[in-house]
Each structure stands twice: as C-alpha cells, then as structure tokens.
Homo-oligomer: A and B are copies of this chain.
Amino acid sequence: MTVIPTIRVQSTDFDLQSEIDTLTMGRRDIGAVVTFSGLCRDECGALSALELEHYPGMAEAEMRRIAEMAIERFSLLGLTALHRYGKIMPGENIVLVVAAAPHRQAAFDGASFMMDFLKTSAPFWKKEHAADGTARDWVAAKDADDTARDKWR
C-alpha cells in the first residue's frame, strides 16, 4: 500500500490533535506517532514577530519530495507536514510534522529527517521584526542545519 503524505502551506494555525486523528483514525497497525512543532521564539524579548515568505507551488512540491523520501526510507504508515507563511508572533506555531509508524524509532527518525531536510531545502525564508521597530533582518541560514541534514546521508 502506498502511503500518501499530507502536505499543506497555509497562513492559518493548525490543530495538532486533529492532524493526528486524521492520520490514525480507525487504524490498528500504528504503534507510534511522533509530532514536531516548531514555534516562533522572541529571542529574549528582542523579536516582535517573524515574517515567513515562501515560493508558492515549489514549497509544497519540495515538502512532498522530502516526505516521500521519509516514507520510503523509514517505512512510515503516515506523514503530515504543514508550514505556515505570513506574520507569526512569538509563541505561535510555524511548522508541524506528524509521523506514524509501527514502532517508535521509525516514527522519531521520520519526523526528524523531515525537519532536517525541510529546513535546508524547502523554499521558505524568515524575516525578523525587531521589538524596538528599528531593524528588519532576514534570518541567515545556519551551517548547523546543513550538518543535521548531512547526518542522514
């Protein structure tokens, strides 16, 4: 049976419980579900918001490519990846990944793999809004994210 990932790019927030329910409802073969939620931090008060820009069409396509790799590699029974765009306030969700598998290691690996590749290859960009209104800088890509991705090779 081919597992089809659920991929969405949206401006609105998402409900984690309903995304899990969609993935697991009526199933008796799933033994492990791992979720990852990425939230906007205020960097100790320095940040008032993040602005998320994306490449419409390619963002979804790239997330789908990564999700299909993860499903194949870890034999996942389900995978959902949602990413928001637009203005996001500290404490709000930016990204959600839900991975389901028969056993825990595959579910952990699936979610972690999805995030590591999403960070480095899905076309999204973050701009910071400073709390004092002065600066508005684009977030720089981190070498640590490339390293995290490369550990899967």
Contacts and interface: CB of A to CB of B under 8 A. Distances in A.
Contact of A34 (B29, B31, B34, B91): B34
A140 to B, nearest CB: 15
Interface string A112-126: 100100000000000
| Count of chain copies | 2
Given A16-B20, A36-B33, A37-B32, A148 B105 contact: yes
Nearest to A34: B36
Interface in A25-39: 26-39
Contacts of A112: 104, 108
A36 B107 contact: yes
A29 to B, nearest CB: 6
Given A16-B16, A16-B20, A28 B104 contact: no
A8 interface: no
A75 interface: no
A111 interface: yes
Nearest to A47: B28
Contacts of A108: 36, 108, 111-112
A54 interface: no
Name the 8 nearest CB pairs between A and B, nearest first. A28-B90, A28-B42, A17-B17, A33-B37, A35-B35, A31-B41, A28-B91, A108-B112
